Amino acid sequence: MASPQEKLADSLQALELLQERGVVAVYSSDLTRTHRERLVRNGFLQEVMKGWYIPVRPDEAGGAGTAWYAAYWGFWAGYLNARFGTN
């Protein structure tokens, strides 16, 4: 059986694969429920709106907004593209 640290490492690896593809706006279906919930619980993902997340540093003070400011344009580009495509 994998330790909690190994499970978290697996979830972080799944997030890293998304980031290597340039994904800033993480949609619920981009990660399995287990990975997503584990990353949120450990502070590596922050929900921006229902079903949409951005990667954050777990040591960032809650509500500081640094991650949001850094991901703002990338998030909206990913969200709007997923929502409306080329329209």
User: What's the CATH number where 23 sits?
Assistant: 1.10.10
Q: What does pLDDT average to over the chain? A: 89
Least confident of 2-6, 34-38, 61-65: 61-65
Q: What percent of the chain has pLDDT over 70?
A: 95
Stretch 27-41: mean pLDDT, rounded?
95
What's the pLDDT at 61?
Answer: 65
Q: CB–CB of 23/78 below 8 Å?
A: yes
Residue 17, in any domain of the structure: yes
Residue 20, in any domain of the structure: yes
Which residue segment(s) compose the domain that 60 sits in? 4-82
Residue 16: CB partners within 8 Å, gap ≥ 6?
A: none
Residue 87, in any domain of the structure: no
Q: Provide the whole-model pTM.
A: 0.83
Structure-block tokens of residue 62: 């809650």
As for how many domains the chain has, the answer is 1
